[in-house]
Amino acid sequence: TKWVYTFGDGKAEGEAGMRNLLGGKGANLAEMSNLGLPVPPGFTITTEVCTYFYDHGRSYPDDLSAQVEAALAHVGRLTGRTFGDPANPLLVSVRSGARASMPGMMDTVLNLGLNDTTVEALATAAGDERFAWDSYRRFITMYSNVVLDVGHHHFEEALEDYKERKGLHLDTELKAADWKHLVGRYKEIVEKELGRPFPQDPKEQLWGAIGAVFGSWMNNRAIKYRELHAIPASWGTAVNVQAMVFGNMGETSATGVAFTRNPSTGEKELYGEFLINAQGEDVVAGIRTPQDITERARKASGSDKPSMEKAMPEAYAELVRIYDLLERHYRDMQDLEFTVEKGKLWMLQTRGGKRTARAALKIAVDLANEGLISKEEAVTRVEPAALDQLLHPTIDPKAERKVLAVGLPASPGAASGEIVFSSDEAEEARKNGRKVILVRVETSPEDIHGMHAAEGILTTRGGMTSHAAVVARGMGKPCVSGAGTIRVDYAAGTLSVAGQVLRAGDVLTIDGTTGQVLLGRVKMLEPELSGEFATLMSWADGVRRMKVRANAETPLDARTARTFGAEGIGLCRTEHMFFEGDRIVAVREMILADDEKGRRAALAKLLPMQRKDFVELFTIMRGLPVTIRLLDPPLHEFLPHTDEEIAEVAAGLGASAEKLKARAAELHEFNPMLGFRGCRLAIAYPEIAEMQARAIFEAAVEVTNGTGEAVRPEIMVPLVMTRAELDQVKGRIDAMAAAVATETGSPLAYQVGTMIELPRAALRAGEIAESAEFFSFGTNDLTQTTLGISRDDAGSFLGAYTGKGILPADPFVTLDQEGVGELVKLAAERGKATRAGIKLGICGEHGGDPASIRFCESAGLDYVSCSPYRVPIARLAAAQAAL
C-alpha cells in the first residue's frame, strides 16, 4: 500500500480531490504544488495509516518507515539538505490535518530536526546565531509541550526568571547568548520532568511527533469536537511533514494569514495580518500586535506600523498574484497562511474561509456575477439558517455592552425599550407611541396582545420551546427566555439583577441572538433586504419546486410574510384571533352559555369580528391561497385562572364568580394536549365551526366582489383521526357554503381539508382523502403523538437524549425522519392513491427547518409553511433541496 504522498517543486502525488486520504491541509498543499505555487516540499502520511494505527494496537504498517525514509530523501534532494545531517540539516514541521479542519488536534511542531549539533550548522548557514538559538528554544518548547506533555508554563517561568535577573523586558532584547543559555535551562527542565533527556536524534523526534498527531485523534478534545459536529471517528487524520521556511530570519522575513475577501463583509479585498521577523502562530498568539497587509487597510486602521505592501513590495505582489489565482482555481474565498523568508514568499496553507452570513451572501453573488460559479452553485453556497442573522436588527458590533444577565437566545434579533411588566401595559404604551420590552416570569396565551405590542420579550423562566420562545419566533420578535438571575417583583413593579434594581419605564436592550440582557439603549444595525439578499433569493426561487407559505393570522404577520416572499398562508390559527381585544369577552360568554341557544347568541357577536379578520387577511394576500384552521385549543385556555382574574371577568360578564369557577373546573383536563380540542370541539359544538365557516365565506364573497380577484379559502379541520369525524364537520361547512352562496348570490370556490397530526390519521390517509381535498402535516402534534413526548414537558429529559446520542436532534426542531417522517411519507402515498391531485403541505415548526425541508422535498410535498421570519430561510432551503 502507498502510505505516503510527496509534494513540492511544482508537482505532487496528490491533489485537492484526495481530501479523504490526505486530509484537507495535505490535499491543498498538493494542489498548490501542482499549480506551480511556491510551497516548501514535503509529504503527507495518509489517513489510512491513522485507521491502521488504531486497528492494530497503535502500531504502524511494516512498510511505512521505508516510505517515510524515501520521502524524506526526496524532500532532501529538492532542498539540497539531509535530514539529521550535522553539517547541512533538513528541518521540518510536523502538522496534523483531518478531512474537516478540526480544533482539538495536535498543535504543529516547527523546526524539528534541531539538536545541539544541527543548531550550530543552522547558525553558520544563516550567518545568524541568534536566529538559530531562537529557533531551537522554540522547538524545545513546542515539542515538549505537544509531544512530551511537559507544560508551557515551565519554560515561560524560566524565561521570565532569566529576563528579571538580567533586567530585560522584551523577547527581542535577548541576544544569541541569552537564548543559548535558556536552551540549556529548557533541556534541564525536560530531563527533570521526564527523567530522561530531550531527544537529540532527529529520527526519534520525527516519529515522536508523528505518533503524537495520530494519538491526538483520540484525545478528549478531539472526541468532543467530533461528537458535536457529527464527524465519524473512522475518518482519521493525516500527518504532514514539510521542509521549514523561516519567517524569523530578520527584517526581510515574516509570517502571516490572509483571506482573499473580507470575511465579515464579503468585500473583495485582500484582508489579513502579518508579523515581521516571526514564526508560525506568533500572528494569532497575540504577543505582538500584527501589521496590516494592504496600505488601504493600514490607513483605515490608523496603524503606524508599515503594511506588507509598503515593507515588502515584492513578496506582497507575489501574494496578490497567488491569492487571485487560488480564488479562481478554487472558485471560493480562501483562507491563506504564508511565510516570507528573506524576501521570498512561501505558501503554507489554503482552505475555504469561514465567513459571516452577510459575507457569505455577498461572496456567493459576487462570484456568480464574476462568472466563477453558476447561479445554482451560488444558491448552494449560503447556509439557509444563517439568513436569520440578516433578517432582524442586530446590535452594532462596535457598541458598548453593559450585560445585566444572560438567558437563552430564544428568538433572534435585538430590541430596546422601556420595561413593562404586563401585556395590558405593553398595549397601552404602544398606543401612546412608546417602545417597550415585555418582562414576564413566563408568558401564556393571554399575553399574545402584549407580545405583539412589545419590541421584544424577556422571561426569567422557560426554555427554547417555552410559550414565549415559540410565539416570539413566530412573530419574528426578539426574545430572551429563562434569564434566571433576574428577579421580577410584579407588585413592586421592579426587577432586580446583579445588585441593581430597575423599575417599569427604565430602558433595557435584549439580544435574542446571544441571550444577553443589556442596560440602556444600545446602537443597532437595520437588516438589509435588498441588494445581494434579493438577488440570491430570486435565484433560489428560480430553482425550487416546493412553494413556501407562512403561518400567519394577524395583518402584520401576513404583510411581513408577503415582504419575505410567502406565496400564501399555510396556517391561520383562528384561536389567536379570539384573544384580541373585546373578543375574549364574547368567547367567554360562549363558553359559559348553558345551552346551544346561549352559545349561538355569543357566537353571533363574534361573527362580525371574525369576518373582519378574514376580509383583512384575504385583502392582504390578494388571491394567494389562505388555509384557515378551525378552532383548535381546549376551551379552558380562554378562561381566567387566578381568583382575582376570575372575579374581574365574572363582574365584566355579569356572571357569578362561582359559576365561572365551576365551569373552569369542569373544563379542567389532566392532559389537554390529548383532550377536548381540535375537531372534537366542532363535533360537540357544531355551531362554533358554523360561525367560523360563515365568517370565512362571507369575507371571501366580500373581497372577491370588491377586488375582482377570486378568493379561494382552504378550510382545515384539526386533529382528525377518522374519516367520519371529517365528514361530520365537512357536512356543516358545505351546508354553510351553500347557504352563503344563496344569500349573497355569489358562487363560492373553496376547499375543505384536514391536518394530519395523529398517527391514526396518517395510517388511514387513503380513506380520509376521499373527503379531504388537501392534507397539511401538523408535525408538532404528529411528533408529540408519534413519540409520545409532550412538547411542553420534553425540556426536562430531551437534553439527555440528544446528549447521549439516543436521538440525533431535538425532534421538535428537526423532523424525526425515520419515525414521524415514515408516517408523513405513508400518508402522502395513501392520500395520492385515493386522490391524485391532493395538495400536500406541512405547517409545523419543521416547515422552517432546512433539514426537515429537505425531507419534505423528498416526500414530494407541494409546499412548506413556516413563521413569516423563516420564509426566506425556507425559500433558500427548498431551492437547495431541489438542486
Determine the distance from the C-alpha atom of residue 193 to the mean position of all C-alpha atoms in its chain, rounded to a whole number.
44
Minimum CB–partner distance for residue 214 and ligand ADP (Å): 15
The C-alpha cell 474561509 sits at 353
339 binds, among ligand ADP, Mg ion, none (CB under 5 to 8 A by kind): ligand ADP
What are the residues facing 273 on neighbouring strands?
A: 257, 292
* Cβ-based nearer residue to ligand ADP, 34 or 255: 255
463 binds, among ligand ADP, Mg ion, none (CB under 5 to 8 A by kind): none
By CB neighbour count within 10 A (0-12 exposed, 13-18 middle, 19+ buried), where does 728 fall?
Answer: middle
Q: At what angle do helices 850-858 and 871-882 cross, to 10 degrees?
A: 50
* Cβ-based nearer residue to ligand ADP, 245 or 469: 245
Edge-to-edge strands of the sheet including 4-8?
11-12, 4-8, 42-45, 237-243, 92-98, 109-112
Minimum CB–partner distance for residue 682 and Mg ion (Å): 14
What is the C-alpha to C-alpha distance for residues 31 and 124, in angstroms, rounded to an integer? 34
46 binds, among Mg ion, ligand ADP, none (CB under 5 to 8 A by kind): none
Q: How big is the CA angle at 621 (ends 585 and 410), to the nearest 5 degrees?
A: 65
* Cβ-based nearer residue to ligand ADP, 38 or 819: 38
Minimum CB–partner distance for residue 599 and Mg ion (Å): 24
843 catalytic residue (yes or no): yes
- In the chain, what is the straight-line distance between the N-terminal and C-terminal CA atoms, in Å? 38
68 binds, among ligand ADP, Mg ion, none (CB under 5 to 8 A by kind): none
What is the C-alpha to C-alpha distance for residues 281 and 145, in angstroms, rounded to an integer? 15
Q: How big is the CA angle at 692 (ends 686 and 698), to the nearest 5 degrees?
A: 130
* Cβ-based nearer residue to ligand ADP, 247 or 463: 247
What are the residues facing 8 on neighbouring strands?
A: 11
Phi, psi of 531 (to 5 degrees): 55, -135
Per the CB < 8 A criterion, the answer to whether 451 and 479 are in contact is: no
Q: Which three cell numbers stand for residue 494?
A: 421592579
Active-site choice (154, 467, 636, 846): 467
Identify residues 315-344 at the interface with Mg ion (CB under 5 A): 337
What are the residues facing 786 on neighbouring strands?
A: none
Active-site choice (50, 479, 572, 843): 843
Minimum CB–partner distance for residue 593 and Mg ion (Å): 26
What is the C-alpha to C-alpha distance for residues 509 and 302, in angstroms, rounded to an integer? 32
449 catalytic residue (yes or no): no
93 binds, among ligand ADP, Mg ion, none (CB under 5 to 8 A by kind): ligand ADP
Per the CB < 8 A criterion, the answer to whether 389 and 513 are in contact is: yes
What are the distances in angstroms from CA 703 to CA 508, 622, 746? 43, 9, 12
Residues that bind ligand ADP (CB under 6 A): 40, 93, 95, 108, 110, 242-245, 255, 280-281, 337, 339, 348-349
- Does residue number 781 form part of the binding site for Mg ion (CB under 5 A)? yes
Minimum CB–partner distance for residue 95 and Mg ion (Å): 7
Minimum CB–partner distance for residue 349 and Mg ion (Å): 5
Minimum CB–partner distance for residue 106 and Mg ion (Å): 12
778 binds, among Mg ion, ligand ADP, none (CB under 5 to 8 A by kind): Mg ion
Segments in 100-219 forming alpha helices (H): 118-126, 129-146, 152-166, 176-194, 202-216
* Cβ-based nearer residue to Mg ion, 474 or 872: 474
* Cβ-based nearer residue to Mg ion, 144 or 349: 349
Per rule CB under 5 A, count of chain residues that contact Mg ion? 5
Minimum CB–partner distance for residue 339 and ligand ADP (Å): 5
Q: Binding Mg ion by CB under 5 A: which of 253, 349, 513, 704?
A: 349
* Cβ-based nearer residue to ligand ADP, 32 or 861: 32
Q: Which three cell numbers stand for residue 351?
A: 482552505
- Does residue number 778 form part of the binding site for Mg ion (CB under 5 A)? yes
367 binds, among ligand ADP, Mg ion, none (CB under 5 to 8 A by kind): none
Query: Using CB under 5 A as the criterion, what x/- string covers residues 738-767 for binding Mg ion?
Result: -------------------x----------
What is the C-alpha to C-alpha distance for residues 255 and 248, in angstroms, rounded to an integer? 8
What is the phi-psi region of residue 345: left when phi exceeds 0, alpha when psi lies from -120 to 50, beta otherwise?
A: beta
DSSP category for residue 838: -
292 binds, among ligand ADP, Mg ion, none (CB under 5 to 8 A by kind): none
Phi, psi of 718 (to 5 degrees): -85, 160
* Cβ-based nearer residue to Mg ion, 262 or 551: 551
Q: Which residues are catalytic?
A: 467, 843
Residues in contact with Mg ion by CB under 5 A are: 337, 349, 757, 778, 781
